Structure 1
Amino acid sequence: MQKRKIYLLLFVAVLGLTKVEAQTQDTLQLDVEQAEGLLLKNNLSILAERLSIDMADAEVIQAKVWPNPTLEVDEVNLWTADYQKKTGEQQPSLFGSDSFGRYRQISAQIEQVIETAGKRKKRVELAKVSAEMAQSYLEDFLLSLKTEFRKTIYSFQFHESYSTMLNRQLVSLENIVKAYQKQYDQGNVNKAELIRLQASLLSIKDELIEERKALNELNKELVVMLNLPANTRLSFGTTFNPDNEYQLPFNYTLEYLQEEALKHRPDVTISKLDIQRSQKELSYEKAMAVPDLAVSLGYDRGGNILQDFIGFGFSIDLPFFDRNKGNIKKAEFAVEQQNYVNENKLLEVREEVRKNFQNYLEAAHFFDDINTEYLEGLDKTMEAYTEYFKLQSINIITYMDFLESYIDTKQTILENQQEYLDDLEELKHSTGLEINTPQ
């Protein structure tokens, strides 16, 4: 019986170690660059969007295809009445038979439409523009997704760092509350001070719960974006370094950034391609005003003055009434409309770059007087205040005031770090340039 208990305990211990190991393995530590590599490789939305390019290429292939020829078989008599045999003209027999086919009549015609005015070529050009637009749509989608992804990581880092700070203060405050509870039980401190500490402890616990909920939500979003196994826990290193000079990693002017945005942004390219497409649609509609030519080759057995007659023919629409004027006019208005839309897009892009450039610089000014030394000094001062309070060198009011101020300050700094990085990502998005994140 004793051995069984020992074996059971060992089994439970091994099972517990296995679970701990599995949980450890499920926590994936990544930096932003590694995470972005996984995003581009695994994200299902990207994989789906890339198929749009293949679909557009397939449309180009389809646009190159000639119209199918038309085969028409007509005037086939399946049986012949006696009266028809008496009055009709006898034909040669078919398939080597003495009688089969002597009174069978049939006609067949094959017709091929030949498109005029370069319609097929213009249709191919239209499809090629659509294929270029599909590529630009993918680039625009990737640019937006990468921006959203990075900002989600920065938000995760903020909540992760803030949770770590809160948890550190929670542990410290819990030790103080336990010590105060013993002192209160011995009648050395008053109940008001103990209640004040307990209230602060509950407040930090509540805030920490909210932060962990936010982390769970962000973890879910990132796992879906990265297409990772369910229950994967993520963790990211610190992106923000306060020792950097918070300005653009280059000396480009606003005007240069605006011009680069007009060259690199996929949505600007799409706007220009919209103009090209509308122009090619106009050209195609003008070509549609020219009638197509249909040529045919026909065979007739028994329905003509000539036996086994083979003849050629053609047909063409006569453009007396429909000259496609309405569609041509509509296409002309579409070209004019797209020119206005493009002008508006260019103005919108310039203003967006200006706004994001100024927002980025404003966010950087917050850190003019903040560096690693300041942050380390802030943490050390908090630790010193905690020790002073434990030694009763300062009173509870002084300690609690500084604790609240410390938490507020750390939160403000972390929020501004996130805002700074978010503004940098918005600037990247608005210019279409890959600006290196300060390290």
Structure 2
Amino acid sequence: MSKAIYSCRHLPVLVFFAILSVHAFAQDSLHLSIGESDKMFLQTNLMVAAGQLNVDAQKAMEIQAKLYPNPQFSVGLNAYDTDNKNFFYAGKNGEKAVTFEQLILLGGKRKNEIELSKQNTKQAELELEDMLRNLKYKLHTSLYSVYFDLQTLQKFNTQLQQLDTIIASYEIQAKKGNLPLKEVVRLKSTYIQLNNNKTELLQSIQDEQKDLQVMLQTTAFVIPAINENVWSQYESLPAIDSLQQLALKSRTDVMLATLNRSIADINVHYQKSLAVPDLTLNTAYDQRGGAFNNQFLFTVGIPLPIWNRNQGNIHYAQTQTKLAAVNEQMQQTSVSAEVNAAWYNMQRSIQEYKKTQDVYNKDFTDVYDGMRENFLKQNISIVEFVDFFESYNESLAEVNRIKKQLALSAENINYTTAYPVY
């Protein structure tokens, strides 16, 4: 038992260092509201910057698709003139040839390439928007989690300080022989349990802080500033059908599935246009190497589509259109299921929150204060006090958990519909 007492006596020191670690973060802290966090996120997040660069790259490819093939110009000279005994002689009696060649694209190849590049740019833009939707959801959920965990942590600290005061008083009385030592040990066991809960909470806060610091590109300890007046807006829930329609209209991943189907259709036209032979126009001048001196030629060339008519690529592109249609339907079904789950979670969170509001009120604090005072006056037993103390702390944590769950459920509604419903 002496070892247990020795360990328990060092608990205030351990808690002090735990609290000190949080204050160390707070010295370089950053207080942010949801709106301020969104603004900072857009300005500093590297993944957002990379997504924007990808959009710019696709726009550059759009410019490239609009360009015409370059003409080809070539000059030929006789390397050694045996009659005149000269190298590269191109005089009156020498030999030189000049050719000019231009490729003419037929079958709508250039038009289809331009349209494909435009659609690829739209795809990059939608991918960026979808990435922003996912990252903002993670940002908001981390902010709410840290906010409520810090509130619970503050209440745990208050409870630990009060319990520490009681333990110190009981230790004095135990040394004087006025109280049995087992009551001090029982109080310290309660202290250890509450401190363990606090340690787990600190770990959760630190994990969320790591994500926040990465998303916001900061080394400061982020302290969310949440308006407590927002809870009333969470108590209403739109009809599930309206949220499903909103999601199918607003979700970028649904738009991407539709766009991919459009790209697949355009690619079919493009592959068919590749089967159409291109025309090559050629003009040439030959000083002495032709049928007669100073010969001018005009030639037209075109491949003969006898064996290769791009059949394989055309069939592949047609298969991709069917696959894109299936993926589009699957995506719409998946979104509807996500909205359903989010709606039911929000409904359950609203019910829990309303029930908590009815049950948890100022009476809880008043009863706790009364129980603590009566315990110090030894009007109630340690068993009664410890049971109430543990239940009270569980209630404090549960109230914050329910409020956090309500806020996270509301964010999930916004996320699944891609619309600020709340």
Which of 368, 371, 374 is equivalent to 2:357?
Answer: 371
Instruction: Give the Cα separation in 1 of the matches to 2:340 and 2:24.
Output: 49
Q: Deviations over 1:151-202 (max 9, x none)?
A: 1112212321121111010100010011111111111100000111112222
Counterpart of 2:387? 401
User: Contact 1:302–1:308 (CA<8 Å) still a contact in 2?
Assistant: yes
User: Contact 1:242–1:372 (CA<8 Å) still a contact in 2?
Assistant: no
- Aligned pairs (5 A) from 1:96-107: 101=91, 104-107=94-97
Counterpart of 2:184? 194
Deviation at 1:133, TM superposition (A): 1.0
2:70 counterpart of 1:80: no
Deviation at 1:240, TM superposition (A): 5.5
Counterpart of 2:107? 117
Instruction: Give the Cα separation in 1 of the matches to 2:281 and 2:380.
Output: 104
Counterpart of 2:298? 312
Q: Deviations over 1:58-96 (max 9, x none)?
A: 11001101112223334x332233xx559xxx9xxx9xx
Letter paired with 2:74: E
Letter paired with 1:420: L
2:206 counterpart of 1:236: no
Question: How many residues were matched structurally?
Answer: 400
User: Contact 1:243–1:371 (CA<8 Å) still a contact in 2?
Assistant: no
Counterpart of 1:38? 40
Instruction: Give the Cα separation in 1 of the matches to 2:401 and 2:100.
Output: 75
Counterpart of 1:431? 417
User: Contact 1:28–1:233 (CA<8 Å) still a contact in 2?
Assistant: yes
Deviation at 1:352, TM superposition (A): 1.5
Question: Unaligned 5+ residue runs, structure 1?
Answer: 1-20
* Residues 103 and 381 (structure 1), Cα distance of their counterparts in 2 relative to 1, 3 Å cut: farther
Q: Deviations over 1:316-366 (max 9, x none)?
A: 011122222222122111112211211121122112211211111011111
User: Contact 1:242–1:370 (CA<8 Å) still a contact in 2?
Assistant: no
SS of residue in 2 equivalent to 1:415: helix
* Residues 213 and 351 (structure 1), Cα distance of their counterparts in 2 relative to 1, 3 Å cut: closer
* Residues 308 and 372 (structure 1), Cα distance of their counterparts in 2 relative to 1, 3 Å cut: farther
Counterpart of 1:53? 55
2:407 counterpart of 1:421: yes
User: Contact 1:291–1:317 (CA<8 Å) still a contact in 2?
Assistant: yes
Instruction: Give the Cα separation in 1 of the matches to 2:61 and 2:408.
Output: 39
Give the TM-score normalised by structure 2.
Answer: 0.88
SS of residue in 2 equivalent to 1:370: helix
Instruction: Give the Cα separation in 1 of the matches to 2:350 and 2:28.
Output: 36
Instruction: Give the Cα separation in 2 of the matches to 1:380 and 1:428.
Output: 38
Q: Deviations over 1:104-162 (max 9, x none)?
A: 32222121111011110110001101111111111111111111111111221232112
Counterpart of 1:172? 162
Deviation at 1:100, TM superposition (A): 6.7
Instruction: Give the Cα separation in 2 of the matches to 1:299 and 1:247.
Output: 85
Q: Deviations over 1:38-57 (max 9, x none)?
A: 11221111111111111111
Give the TM-score normalised by structure 1.
Answer: 0.85
Counterpart of 1:207? 197
Letter paired with 1:213: Q
Q: Deviations over 1:293-335 (max 9, x none)?
A: 0111212122023333332212101112222222212211111
Instruction: Give the Cα separation in 1 of the matches to 2:201 and 2:345.
Output: 27
Q: Deviations over 1:185-236 (max 9, x none)?
A: 11110000011111222222233233223222222221111112x3x12212
User: Contact 2:104–2:280 (CA<8 Å) still a contact in 1?
Assistant: yes
User: Contact 2:144–2:224 (CA<8 Å) still a contact in 1?
Assistant: no
Give the fraction of aligned pairs with identical amino acids, expressed as a percent. Answer: 27
User: Contact 2:353–2:406 (CA<8 Å) still a contact in 1?
Assistant: no
Counterpart of 2:11? none
Over aligned residue pairs, what C-alpha RMSD do you find?
A: 2.5
SS of residue in 1 equivalent to 2:380: coil
2:236 counterpart of 1:248: yes
Deviation at 1:247, TM superposition (A): 3.2
Structure that is richer in helix per residue: 2
Structure 1 range deviating more: 365-374 or 127-136 = 365-374
Instruction: Give the Cα separation in 1 of the matches to 2:130 and 2:173.
Output: 64
* Residues 46 and 396 (structure 1), Cα distance of their counterparts in 2 relative to 1, 3 Å cut: same
2:310 counterpart of 1:324: yes
2:227 counterpart of 1:227: no
Larger-gyration structure (1/2):
1
SS of residue in 1 equivalent to 2:117: helix
- Aligned pairs (5 A) from 1:273-292: 273-292=259-278
Which of 369, 372, 382 is equivalent to 2:368?
Answer: 382
* Residues 22 and 356 (structure 1), Cα distance of their counterparts in 2 relative to 1, 3 Å cut: closer
Deviation at 1:241, TM superposition (A): 5.6
Instruction: Give the Cα separation in 2 of the matches to 1:226 and 1:372.
Output: 38
Letter paired with 1:264: S
Which of 241, 244, 248 is equivalent to 1:258?
Answer: 244
* Residues 61 and 32 (structure 1), Cα distance of their counterparts in 2 relative to 1, 3 Å cut: same
Structure 1 range deviating more: 267-276 or 418-427 = 418-427
Instruction: Give the Cα separation in 2 of the matches to 1:431 and 1:120.
Output: 38
